[in-house]
Amino acid sequence: MARSSVLGYPRIGEKREWKQALEAYWSGRCDESTYRERMKDIRLARLRKLQASGIDLIPVGDFSEYDHVLDTAAMFGLVPKRFAYEGGEVPASVYFGIARGTKEAAASEMTKWFNTNYHYIVPELDGALPSLTENRPLHAYLEAKEALGIEGKPVLLGPLTFIRLSKGYDPADTDAWLDRLIPLYERVLRELEQAGATWMQIDEPSLVLAGDRQDRDRLHRIYSAFAAAAPHLSIMLQTYFESADDYETIIGLPVKGIGLDFAHGRDGNLAAIRQHGFPSDKVLGAGVVDGRGIWRASLANGCKLLDELKQFVPSDRLIVQSSCSLLHVPVTVRGEDRLPDVLRQALAFADEKLAEISLLTKAAELGTDAIAAQSGESEAALRALNEHAARNRTDVHAAVQTVAFQEGRRHLPFADRQPLQQAKWQLPLLPTTTIGSFPQTVDVRKARQQWRKGEWSKERYDSFIREQIDKWVSLQEEIGLDVLVHGEFERTDMVEFFGEKLAGFAFTLGGWVQSYGSRCVKPPIIFGDVAFEGAMTVEETAYAQSKTSRPVKGMLTGPVTIMNWSFVREDIAREQIAYQLAYALRQEVEALEAAGIGLIQVDEPAVREGLPLKREAQANYLAWAVKAFRLTTCTVRDTTQIHTHMCYCEFHDMLGSIEAMDADVISIETSRSHGELIHHFERQSYPLGIGLGVYDIHSPRVPRTEEMTAMIDRALQTLDPALFWINPDCGLKTRGEEETLAALRNMVDAARAARQTFAPIA
């Protein structure tokens, strides 16, 4: 009979207990023993929930204390030399040091997990010799079995994907690295088989990316070795986020099961099955419930899909599952009673998706009629939302249709705008600035809570915000920054803040998801047509400008980032959602300019993460993403300087698109990747203003002036000093005040030293 499974489940807990345990440990508010016990309680609580849901194959080992890619590196002892690791099981101090940095050593690079908003820690292979320090999947399997009687499905990142996600090695050495890693994986699998495990999920999401002939040979070598090492352990080779790139090769591998994504890779995977069939000796893991989206599944469509799949795979060789790990969605809709009924009834978070998987598994075995009542409910809920007035605003549709036909270009090209801007602003060589936010202290967060609860009047809260602006405008002047910001003390999150002020958005009470480490975000829901309803940032920005003679930047989040960092409606194309946002934000840009703000930053850190994984779809996405940014900014005067910011993605393959955005200045993260982006500028020039982040704001360490100077010196060997800006990697919201001030003082000192060096060149 058909069985059910899920690829992974959220780590954070319904009330973010995981985050609280981590931060208590990091701050010294609990010792390591207490911390370990709390983590165990959280692990077991989530397993109990999966057990109670009736899921047949429960994943174990997908839980992490920071990041599953970091877990894999630590399991194999792949620790950068700078952390003075001496072998054996990686201690917590080293594990978290790699992730967050220490006073002595910089953190490893952090970047996006494929095209999601989850960040992973990039393994560094340079000079490392792997060894098995601990069998993490085995520990997870035994814990679930002994504590709860669960015969779990251990989860492990596969070797080919692990190497592809790593850095510090020559791609020509991929086979040499496989020679080192395969025996370690074999030992993991043998020990699991000996312990009684029957299924093992090995994640190879990189198999949805374009590969080559060598990768085909590598896959056969890897999985033939695994089959020989543990012949009685059934391996589910799991792909997700798109359709498998080389389906014929994958179905020929000596594994028991193949997991395919039928949510985001539906068309490609279905076409491959129709053309090539599915092997009779394998189980199909059918990812029919979207693991990344929050919308209730159309059970009727799910049943139709399963009926088609059963033409190729009988139900006894079918596992109905999520398309990917549920890590990417909130835990549960329960408690979201402040949402409008029509919206709430159309939502499904992790727990609700478990129920959908169980229902579809039942339908796969007994037929569609077995879930007819539940299917009718899901169709009615989705239909009611699609018919709601919020999704059918003719005024928005008409305006956006007009805007979408515009080219979205500034009046003058950059080469002609830049002298006019410099004449107006009279900025020094290598101007300094920050990315936007300053530390949100306990007092700032407490004041916001008191205002939201009605304990403070709006007048009192506004007065408090002005006091914070006064303080930090003065501090910025004292430090010597050239372009100031107001600090964003009134903002919770860079997307949520704008969503609360635009039509078409809704907000959950507990819809948290993990972004990186203990950083959890609560993405807004774009459920209706987006529309501008009044100025959003003008009051605070204009107030800050009134307190200084130096220019103050207006700070906005860009249309594509707001979209990519929200849960979005699925009834219209994402391109149309981006244009709705662009039109609304254009009106805010114009309001800032009318209030006398002549430098406006429209942040787009999430443009890259929305890039489709399939190459053939990338050009179209980049075209409309770039156009959405230009539509937001194109109506300003020539002397108004448009900035943007990007971080924590691989940007080298889209520098042409970044240039096409036509921002006067882009600030871009480089310090976490240890300046590697600079290497690409050595081969490809950038003719607009640019600031490469000179220090990592996600690490608690304060970098020395000399470190920043070295970064600046290297960048200016390639980039034009007359167009170069100096700034941190990202906003400073999560940092403490003392470390922020110390780091910015060092940054300004580095800029002053660089001016002495590069003034003759400029």
Instruction: Give per-residue pLDDT as tens, 49-74.
Output: 999 999 999 999 999 999 999 999 99
Mean pLDDT of the region 13-27: 96
Q: Domain range spanning residue 690?
A: 414-758
State the pLDDT at residue 111: 87
Q: Which of 177-186, 239-248, 701-710 has the lowest mean pLDDT?
A: 701-710
Domain count, the chain: 2
State the pLDDT at residue 651: 67
Strands of 567-568's sheet in order across = 502-506, 525-532, 567-568
233-236 long-range CB contacts below 8 Å, 24 or more apart? 233/189, 233/192, 233/193, 233/197, 233/198, 233/199, 233/200, 234/198, 234/199, 234/200, 234/283, 235/189, 235/199, 235/200, 235/202, 236/153, 236/199, 236/200, 236/201, 236/202, 236/283, 236/285, 236/319
> In the predicted model, is pLDDT for residue 680 greater than 80?
no
Q: Is residue 630 one of the residues assigned to a domain?
A: yes
> In the predicted model, is pLDDT for residue 219 greater than 90?
yes
Read off the pTM: 0.91
State the pLDDT at residue 648: 58
Task: Report how far residue 361's alpha carbon sits from residue 57's, in angstroms, rounded to the nearest whole number.
Answer: 12
Contact 625, 606 (CB under 8 A): no
What Rg do the C-alpha atoms of the chain give, in angstroms? 26
Q: Name the H helices within 500-640.
A: 538-546, 559-564, 574-594, 615-633
Binding-site sequence positions for L-homocysteine: 435-437, 488, 603
State the pLDDT at residue 451: 94
Euclidean distance between the first and the last CA atom of the chain, given in angstroms as a whole number: 73
- The answer on 478 and 355 residing in a single domain is no
Last residue of a domain, one of 371, 386, 401: 386
- The answer on 368 and 488 residing in a single domain is no
> In the predicted model, is pLDDT for residue 146 greater than 90?
yes
State the pLDDT at residue 676: 64
- Nearest alpha carbon to residue 505 among 496, 513, 516, 514: 496
Quote the percentage of the chain above a pLDDT of 90: 87
- Nearest alpha carbon to residue 312 among 370, 271, 372: 271
698 is catalytic: yes
Q: How big is the chain, counted in residues? A: 762
State which amino acid sits at residue 640. T
Q: Is residue 304 one of the residues assigned to a domain?
A: yes
Which has more confidence, 506 or 406? 506
Residue from 68, 328, 486, 698 carrying the catalytic annotation: 698
Task: Report how far residue 460's alpha carbon sits from residue 677's, in angstroms, rounded to the nearest whole number.
Answer: 45
- The answer on 376 and 427 residing in a single domain is no
Contacts of 436 (CB under 8 A, 6+ apart): 485, 488, 494, 553, 555, 601, 603, 645, 731
> In the predicted model, is pLDDT for residue 672 greater than 60?
no
> In the predicted model, is pLDDT for residue 674 greater than 90?
no
Q: Is residue 665 one of the residues assigned to a domain?
A: yes
- pLDDT band at 97, cuts 50/70/90? very high
Looking up tokens 């972004």 gives 515
Tokens of residue 461, six digits: 């809260």
CATH number where 236 lies: 3.20.20.210
Mean pLDDT of the region 485-500: 92
- Nearest alpha carbon to residue 636 among 605, 667, 687, 602: 602
Task: Report how far residue 758's alpha carbon sits from residue 116's, in angstroms, rounded to the nearest whole number.
Answer: 40
Q: Is residue 396 one of the residues assigned to a domain?
A: no
State the pLDDT at residue 762: 54
> In the predicted model, is pLDDT for residue 450 greater than 60?
yes
397-401 long-range CB contacts below 8 Å, 24 or more apart? 397/529, 399/583, 400/576, 400/579, 400/580, 400/583
- Nearest alpha carbon to residue 528 among 582, 586, 570: 570
- Residues 327-358 have pLDDT tens digits of 999 999 999 999 999 999 999 999 999 999 99
- The answer on 701 and 750 residing in a single domain is yes
* Residue 492 DSSP one-character state: S
- The answer on 481 and 378 residing in a single domain is no
Q: How far is CA 738 from CA 397, 465, 735, 744, in A?
A: 48, 20, 9, 10
- The answer on 419 and 317 residing in a single domain is no
- Residues 382-398 have pLDDT tens digits of 999 999 999 999 999 99
- The answer on 506 and 360 residing in a single domain is no
Binding-site sequence positions: 16-19, 112, 435-437, 488, 519-520, 565, 603, 609, 645, 647, 669, 730
Task: Report how far residue 553's alpha carbon sits from residue 544's, in angstroms, rounded to the nearest whole number.
Answer: 9
- The answer on 444 and 351 residing in a single domain is no
Task: Report how far residue 411's alpha carbon sits from residue 96's, in angstroms, rounded to the nearest whole number.
Answer: 49
Task: Report how far residue 503's alpha carbon sits from residue 395's, in angstroms, rounded to the nearest whole number.
Answer: 12
Quote the percentage of the chain above a pLDDT of 70: 97
State the pLDDT at residue 397: 95
- The answer on 292 and 144 residing in a single domain is yes
Mean pLDDT of the region 732-744: 92
Mean pLDDT of the region 83-109: 94
Q: Is residue 408 one of the residues assigned to a domain?
A: no
Binding-site sequence positions for 5-methyltetrahydropteroyltri-L-glutamate: 16-19, 112, 519-520, 565, 609
Task: Report how far residue 415's alpha carbon sits from residue 419's, in angstroms, rounded to the nearest whole number.
Answer: 7
Secondary structure (DSSP) of 669-736: --TTTTTHHHHHHTTS---SEEEE--S-TTSSS---HHHHHHHHHHHTTTS-GGGEEB--SS--TTS-
Q: Is residue 424 one of the residues assigned to a domain?
A: yes
State which amino acid sits at residue 166. S
- The answer on 649 and 605 residing in a single domain is yes
Q: Which of 199-208, 380-389, 564-573, 607-616 has the lowest mean pLDDT?
A: 607-616
Q: How far is CA 341 from CA 130, 344, 374, 393, in A?
A: 53, 5, 17, 20
> In the predicted model, is pLDDT for residue 239 greater than 60?
yes
* Residue 76 DSSP one-character state: T
Helix (H/G/I), strand (E/B), else coil: 85: coil
Backbone angles phi, psi at 644, to 5 degrees: -145, 165
Contact 440, 494 (CB under 8 A): no
Looking up tokens 């996006």 gives 112
Q: Is residue 297 one of the residues assigned to a domain?
A: yes
Q: Is residue 733 one of the residues assigned to a domain?
A: yes
- The answer on 472 and 328 residing in a single domain is no
State the pLDDT at residue 668: 86
- pLDDT band at 671, cuts 50/70/90? low
- pLDDT band at 406, cuts 50/70/90? confident
> In the predicted model, is pLDDT for residue 683 greater than 90?
no
* Pairing mode of beta strands 199-203, 153-157: parallel
- The answer on 428 and 371 residing in a single domain is no
Largest CA distance in the chain: 79
Task: Report how far residue 695's alpha carbon sits from residue 708's, in angstroms, rounded to the nearest whole number.
Answer: 7
Helices (H) and strands (E) in the chain, counts: 27, 21
- pLDDT band at 686, cuts 50/70/90? confident
- Nearest alpha carbon to residue 561 among 503, 511, 610, 513: 610
Helix (H/G/I), strand (E/B), else coil: 235: strand
Tokens of residue 721, six digits: 């000093």
Last residue of a domain, one of 366, 386, 406: 386
Backbone angles phi, psi at 443, to 5 degrees: -65, -40
If residue 19 lies in a helix (H) or strand (E), which one and from where to where? helix 17-26
Last residue of a domain, one of 338, 370, 386: 386
